[in-house]
Structure 1
Amino acid sequence: MFSLSVPAVVALLSLTAPSALAALLQSADDAASQLSSTKYDYIIVGGGTAGGVLANRLSEDSSNKVLLIEAGSSDYNNTNIQVPWLAPVLTHSQFDWNYTTAPQEALNNRSIGYARGKVLGGSSSINYMIYTRGSEDDWNRYASLTGDDGWKWDNVLNYAKKLENFTNAPSVANASSKFVSTVHSTKGPVGAGLPQVTLPIDQLALNAQQELSSEFKFNQDLNAGDMTGMSWTPFAIAGGARSNSARDYVEPALSRDNLDVLVNTQVVKVLKTGTDGDTPVVNGVQFTSGPKEKLYNLTATKEVILSAGAIGTPQILLLSGIGPADQAKALSIESIVDLPDVGQNMQDHPLLTTNFEVSSNDTLDNLTLNTTFQAEQLALWTNNRTGDFTLGACNSWAWQRLADNDTVFKNVTDPSAGSKSPHYQLIWSDLYIAFSGGAFPQGHFLTLISNLYTPISRGSLTLNTTDPFTYPIINPGLLSDEAGFDIHTMREALKAGRRFLGAKAWKDWIVAEYGASANATTDEAIDEYIRANALVVNHVSGTVAMGKSGSTGKGSGALNPDLTVKGVKGLRVVDASIFPIIPAGHTMVPVYILAERAADLVKNPSSGSGSSGSGGSNSAAPIGTSFVAGIASAIVALAAYLL
C-alpha cells in the first residue's frame, strides 16, 4: 500500500537471501530440454496465492504431473519478504510488477501505483498479510449469482478451515477471548493468528469501543461470518514471519517428483490446440524468459489453469484472442471466442489516510526516533523472531456499515451483500504513515486509514499493443459511479473514524488532527481531500468474473461456476479475477479459499459441495536467514515509512 523508494535497503537485505532451491527450474531456456521431454497433465500459470495452492493440491495425486510457471523469481525466503514489519519496502521492489493505473478522473486525474507480487508466492509474498475470509453474505451472494451452492458460506467454510493453522497468541493477554476457536483450524498449511505484541493503543481503542458501543459493536471474530464491528486483527504471520503460498504450499510439495516449478518465465498467451466438435480446445501455453527471448510452446494433457492475477490473467486471455472480439480485431489478434466480459468489471477498494498528533511518546514512531530501541527490536527478530518487527498494520480495527436510513439509499440500492458485510473499514495505527512517501515529521502520531469496501464503481483492463511485456491499460474507475455512492461512503467513513477517535478514551492521548485533512471540515472539503489523496488497497478483482453456467453475452460472466472459461475446453481461471463482486474484505484469504475449492473441482468435477478433503502437508519452510551486521543502519533510514 505504500509508495516507497528504498533500493539501497532492498539491495542490502537481498544479500542475506538464500540461493534458489535446486528443485526449481530457473528459466525457460535452461529447462527447455526437460520441459520438451515431459508430458504435463496440468500447467498452472502464476505461482501466486492461488497458483501455489493448486500446485500443492493437484500434485498430491502422484499420477498427476504438474508444472507451475512463475514470471518472478524463487526468492520467497528473501528477508524483506519474511519480516512482517518490512512489508512496505516490497512495493516498487524487484518483487513487484510495478503497475500504474490510467489517470483516474475522479481522483483529480492522478495515476495510482498498483502493487502486485512478482515472485513465487505472488501477492501473498508482498502484501500486508491481513487475514479476512469475507462475510457469510459475500459468499452466499456468489452462490446466488452463479447458481452454484458450492460457493455458499456453509460450504466454503470447510475450505477456510482446511487451509489454515490458526494459532493462539501466548504472549498476548486474554488472546483466546479475541477469536472464536471453533471456526478455525490448526491443521492446515497457512500459518495465521493474532498480533504477538500488545501495544498501549490497544486498550485505548477497546475503551473507545465500549464508550461508543451503540455505533461500534464488539466482534470477537470477524472471520466467523459477520465482519461488522470492532475486532482484533488476524494476520498470515506464524513464528514471527510472513506466511505465504510459496512457503506454506509450494515448498512442502517440492520433494514430489511429479511437480516442476519454472520461475523467471512469463506466459505470453494460451494456445488453441484443437477442437472438440465446434468447441475450441485451449490447453497450450506459450512462454519465454524475457522480451526478445526464444518462445516455447507446451501443451497440457488435461488443463491449463490461469492464476496470473486480476491483471495478468485477463491480459493473457486478451492476447490469446479470448475476450471481446472487437478488441481482438482492432489489434489484428485472431479471435478464438468472443467473451465480452474479459477485462471488464474491474474493482478495487479505495483507501485514505489521515494523521493525528498524540501526546504519548510510547508509539511505534520510536522505531524511527530511537535508534537504540530500533536496534533492540531488530535483534529480537534476528535472534528469535519476536518483538515489534513481527507486527503488521494494526492490532485492532473496525468494519462498519452506513446507517440504514442514510440519505444515500434514497437513490442507490445498497451494494453490500447483506447486513453481515461492511461498507467501510477503519484502521488505527500508532505511528505516522505516509502512503506516498514524503518527509517524516518529528513527534508521535496516530494514523487513521479509512477504506471503502463496497464500491459501485467499475473499471476495465484493455490492451493497447500485442507486446506482452507492455503493460495493459489499467483503469479501475475509482470513485467514478454516477450515483455518488462511493465518494459519499468514503466521506462517511472518515467522519466515523473521527467520531471514534473523538471518544473520551482518547482525550489525553490524541492532541489534534495533523496536516491538510485537519482543514477538511465540510462535506465539500472532505470530498476534495479524498479526491486529492485517495489511493487503493491493491485488491484488484473481477476482471474475468464467474457467472451462471452456460450463460452468454455481456454481463453474464466469462467463467462457469466451476471456473472453466466459457466457450472453450481445457482452460480454467483461479485467482481474484473470478469474483463477480469484490469481497468486502482483504482478498488474500478468499483467494486461498477459492483455490482450495478449485483444486477439488479440477480433481473431481462432481466435488466441491463442502468436503474439506484430506488436506496437504502442514510443514512450513525453514526461516533460515538472518540480518547481517550493518543492516540496522539502513533500517534506521527506512523506518520513517514502516507500518
Structure 2
Amino acid sequence: MNDFDVIIVGAGSAGCVLANRLSADPSRHVCLIEAGPPDRNPMIHMPFGLAGLAHMRWLNWGYETDPEPALNNRRLFWPRGRVMGGSSSINAMIYMRGHPQDYRGWAEAAGEAWDWPRVREIFKEHEDNRALTDDHHGTGGPLTVSNLMQPNPLSRAFVRAGAECQHPINPDFNGADHTGVGLYQVTQRDGRRFSAARAFLEPALSRPNLTLITKAQVHRVLIEDRRAVGVILANRELRLREGGEVILSGGAINSPQLLMLSGIGPAAHLQAMDIPVVHDAPEVGANLADHLDITVQAALKGREAIGIAPTFLPRAARAAWAYLRRGQGEFTSNIAEAGGFVTSDPSRDRPNLQFHFIPAYLHDHGRRISWGYGLTLHVCDLLPKSRGRITLRTPDPMAAPKIEANYLGHPDDLPVLMNGLKIARNIVAAPALRRYVQQETLPGHKVISDVELEADIRARAETIYHPVGTCRMGRDESSVTDPQGRVRGVDGLRVVDASLMPQIIAGNTNAPTMMIAENIARMMLARPTDLP
C-alpha cells in the first residue's frame, strides 16, 4: 500500500475525473480515497430520488453553518455528497458552464490556461450531448447531457410566464447567450442520473493501476521536510513513491479543513488548535463564496404539481412503474426542471440572478414534509460580494469544521436579492402561471414593502449549494495554490476542486468543477513546453 504515484483524497466531481485521466497512464499508480460508501443506493440513480437524499446522512456530510448574523442568527443546512461521485451523486443534475466573463476573471487571476477559449473546449470535449449538436456542444465525450424526458406542465408554464414578463425564452443556457428562461439540460442518460462516478470513474475501475478505497476518511496529509509523502487514515498510513503527489479533492469545505489539520493555514489559528505549523497560509479557508437563495411559493388550484397528498398516490405508482420498466415517466424529473438568468436591474451588463423552478412545495431542503399541491420558484444572487471562511472547530479530524458563510455581509447583496424576489413574484403572477395559482403562500400577499421583504429574506433565505473559493488559485504569492493547483509552501501537494475558484461562477458549479479537474490533469500530464 506504499506504492502510489498519486493519492487523490475525495471521489467527488473532481476526484473522479482525476482518477480517470491520471490512471490512463499505466505506469502511474493511482489511489482514490472516498470517505463515503459506493454509489449503490437506488435513490442516487433515480433522478426523482434526490428529494430524499437530504435525509440520508450516510450519503451526505449534512453540514450546518454557524449562526449567520444577517439571517437572524439561523444555522443554514449545507448538504454535500459523502459518496462515490460526491455532490454529483446528490445534486439536481443541472448542466451549466457559467458565463464567459467568469473565466475572463479567472484568467486575470490565474493566467490564460483558465480563460474562456481553453475551458470552453474542455467543456465541449467532456460532453456527450444527446439533444444539441451545434458548435457550442460536443458529442461522444464521457459526460452524457440530455434534455428532460417528461417536464411537468407547470415547468413549461413557468417559461411562458417568464416570456410574458419580457424575459426571452432561451433553449440553450450553454449556447451563444446566457440570458432568458427555459428548461434546463441535465446530466442524465436514459432517464438515470449520470454522475461524475458513472461518467469518469466506472470506466476506469478495471485498470490494475487504480486503487479505490471507500468508507475511509483521511485525517491529515503526511508531510516531511515540507513535502507531502502520504496520508494518514484512522488505522493506517498510505505513502507515495518518491516524487509522487497528494491531491485534495474534498471540495470547498473539506479541502481547506484537511490543509489546516495538516499544518497548512493561518498560523495563529493553527497554534490555537495546537496544530504544528508547517506553512503559514493565511488565505486557507478564506474567500468562501456561495449563492444565497430566496423563494416564492404558491398553492395551486389543481393537481398538476408533484404533490404530497393521498390523491397523488396513483400517479406516483404509475410513475414508479414507468421508471422501473422503461426508465421513463415523472421519476426521471430532476425536480428543478426549469429556470433562467436575468439581471437584477438595467445597469447590469450580464445576468446576476438565476431561477430554479420546482413544480412542488419545497421546505427546509426537502427535509420537512410539505402537504398539498404547490410550486416553488427559487431566485439566487449569482455574483455576491460577501465572503466567508472555513476554520477548524477542533483539531479532531472527525469533527465538522466551522462554516461562517457571512451571507449578506456586504451591503450591496441585499438589494440584489430583494430585486430578485420582486422579479420572481411577478413571474408567478403572470398569466401563464396565474391560471394555476390559488394564492401566493410565501412571502404571502401581505408582505409588500421593502422593509417587509427584507425581513422575509433574513427569515427564510437559504443556500442553493454552490460553496467555492476557499483554496483560491492565483499567480500572486498570497493565493493558496498556483494556477496548477499546487499548494504554495509544500511540495508534492495539490488542491483540485471547487475551492480553487478565484471568483464564484455565475451558475451551477458541478460542470465547472469537472472542468477544473480535467484542466489540471492535462497540466500534470503535459510536458513543460506544452503548457500554456
Scaled by the length of structure 2, the TM-score of the pair is: 0.95
1:463 counterpart residue number: 392
CA distance 1:485–1:607, shift in 2 (3 Å): farther
User: Which structure has the larger Rg?
Assistant: 1
Counterpart contact for 1:366–1:373, Cα < 8 Å = no
In the TM superposition, residue 594 of structure 1 has moved relative to its aligned partner by 0.7
Whole-angstrom distance in 1 between the partners of 2:473 and 2:310 = 46
Counterpart contact for 2:305–2:374, Cα < 8 Å = yes
CA distance 1:202–1:536, shift in 2 (3 Å): closer
In the TM superposition, residue 362 of structure 1 has moved relative to its aligned partner by 2.3
Whole-angstrom distance in 2 between the partners of 1:52 and 1:101 = 27
Is the partner of 1:43 in helix, strand or coil? strand
Could you tell me which of 243, 248, 251 is aligned with 2:202?
A: 251
Whole-angstrom distance in 1 between the partners of 2:310 and 2:253 = 35
Matched, 1:285 2:227: no
CA distance 1:366–1:269, shift in 2 (3 Å): closer
What is the letter of the counterpart of residue 402 of structure 1?
S
In the TM superposition, residue 332 of structure 1 has moved relative to its aligned partner by 2.3
Whole-angstrom distance in 2 between the partners of 1:349 and 1:368 = 35
Whole-angstrom distance in 1 between the partners of 2:76 and 2:269 = 25
Counterpart contact for 2:245–2:492, Cα < 8 Å = yes
Q: Is the deviation greater in 450-459 or in 597-606? A: 597-606
1:524 counterpart residue number: 451
What is the letter of the counterpart of residue 92 of structure 1?
H
Is the partner of 2:231 in helix, strand or coil? strand
Q: How does 1:123-138 map to 2 (within 5 A)?
A: 123-138=87-102
Deviation string 1:400-420 (CA, Å, 9 cap, x unpaired) is 112234xxxxxxxx7xxxx34
Whole-angstrom distance in 2 between the partners of 1:530 and 1:59 = 47
Could you tell me which of 359, 366, 370 is aligned with 2:312?
A: 370
Q: How does 1:472-511 map to 2 (within 5 A)?
A: 472-481=401-410, 484-511=411-438
1:197 counterpart residue number: 150
Paired residues in the alignment total 529
Deviation string 1:574-604 (CA, Å, 9 cap, x unpaired) is 0111011111111100001111111101111
State the identity %: 34
Is the partner of 2:283 in helix, strand or coil? coil
Could you tell me which of 116, 119, 123 is aligned with 1:156?
A: 119
Deviation string 1:45-82 (CA, Å, 9 cap, x unpaired) is 111110000000001111111010111111x1310100
Counterpart contact for 1:101–1:111, Cα < 8 Å = yes
In the TM superposition, residue 187 of structure 1 has moved relative to its aligned partner by 1.0
What is the letter of the counterpart of residue 541 of structure 1?
V
Matched, 1:48 2:12: yes
In the TM superposition, residue 392 of structure 1 has moved relative to its aligned partner by 0.8
Could you tell me which of 166, 178, 188 is aligned with 1:237?
A: 188
1:536 counterpart residue number: 463
Could you tell me which of 325, 341, 360 is aligned with 2:267?
A: 325
Whole-angstrom distance in 1 between the partners of 2:422 and 2:412 = 15
Matched, 1:208 2:161: yes
CA distance 1:522–1:149, shift in 2 (3 Å): same
Could you tell me which of 507, 520, 526 is aligned with 1:598?
A: 520
CA distance 1:604–1:255, shift in 2 (3 Å): same
Whole-angstrom distance in 2 between the partners of 1:462 and 1:232 = 38
1:381 counterpart residue number: 323
2:279 counterpart residue number: 337
Whole-angstrom distance in 2 between the partners of 1:251 and 1:391 = 24
CA distance 1:62–1:386, shift in 2 (3 Å): same
Matched, 1:576 2:498: yes
Could you tell me which of 102, 105, 120 is aligned with 2:66?
A: 102
What is the letter of the counterpart of residue 558 of structure 1?
V
Deviation string 1:465-502 (CA, Å, 9 cap, x unpaired) is 21101111111111121xx2211111111100112222
CA distance 1:506–1:90, shift in 2 (3 Å): closer
Counterpart contact for 2:523–2:531, Cα < 8 Å = no
What is the letter of the counterpart of residue 263 of structure 1?
T
Deviation string 1:89-144 (CA, Å, 9 cap, x unpaired) is 11131100121110111110011111111111111111111111111111111011
Counterpart contact for 1:542–1:582, Cα < 8 Å = yes
What is the letter of the counterpart of residue 229 of structure 2?
N
Could you tell me which of 355, 375, 378 is aligned with 1:449?
A: 378
Counterpart contact for 2:335–2:359, Cα < 8 Å = no
Is the partner of 1:272 in helix, strand or coil? strand
Deviation string 1:249-291 (CA, Å, 9 cap, x unpaired) is 11111111110001111111112233xxxxx222321122xxx
Counterpart contact for 1:394–1:427, Cα < 8 Å = yes
Where structure 2 has 5 or more consecutive residues not aligned to the other structure, the ranges are none
What is the letter of the counterpart of residue 77 of structure 2?
G
Whole-angstrom distance in 2 between the partners of 1:396 and 1:119 = 27
What is the letter of the counterpart of residue 60 of structure 2?
D
1:559 counterpart residue number: 481
Matched, 1:352 2:294: yes
Deviation string 1:425-456 (CA, Å, 9 cap, x unpaired) is 122222222235445333x3221111121111
Could you tell me which of 286, 303, 316 is aligned with 2:258?
A: 316
Q: Is the deviation greater in 349-358 or in 526-535? A: 349-358
Counterpart contact for 1:394–1:429, Cα < 8 Å = yes
What is the letter of the counterpart of residue 468 of structure 1?
P
In the TM superposition, residue 224 of structure 1 has moved relative to its aligned partner by 2.4
Whole-angstrom distance in 2 between the partners of 1:565 and 1:479 = 30
Matched, 1:296 2:200: no
What is the letter of the counterpart of residue 378 of structure 1?
A
Whole-angstrom distance in 2 between the partners of 1:85 and 1:596 = 29
What is the letter of the counterpart of residue 185 of structure 1?
G
CA distance 1:377–1:186, shift in 2 (3 Å): same
Q: How does 1:55-204 map to 2 (within 5 A)?
A: 55-74=19-38, 76-93=39-56, 94-146=58-110, 148-168=111-131, 181-204=134-157
Whole-angstrom distance in 1 between the partners of 2:219 and 2:213 = 14
Counterpart contact for 1:155–1:609, Cα < 8 Å = no
What is the letter of the counterpart of residue 485 of structure 1?
D
2:370 counterpart residue number: 440
Whole-angstrom distance in 2 between the partners of 1:591 and 1:345 = 17
Deviation string 1:177-228 (CA, Å, 9 cap, x unpaired) is xx56321112111122111104322443343343333xx1232311126322
RMSD: 1.9
1:628 counterpart residue number: none
Scaled by the length of structure 1, the TM-score of the pair is: 0.79
Whole-angstrom distance in 2 between the partners of 1:314 and 1:295 = 22
In the TM superposition, residue 516 of structure 1 has moved relative to its aligned partner by 4.8
Counterpart contact for 1:180–1:221, Cα < 8 Å = no
Is the partner of 1:478 in helix, strand or coil? coil
Counterpart contact for 2:136–2:176, Cα < 8 Å = no
What is the letter of the counterpart of residue 382 of structure 1?
L
Where structure 1 has 5 or more consecutive residues not aligned to the other structure, the ranges are 1-34, 169-178, 275-279, 289-293, 406-413, 611-643
Could you tell me which of 218, 238, 261 is aligned with 1:267?
A: 218
Could you tell me which of 366, 381, 399 is aligned with 2:341?
A: 399
What is the letter of the counterpart of residue 46 of structure 1?
G
What is the letter of the counterpart of residue 233 of structure 1?
Y
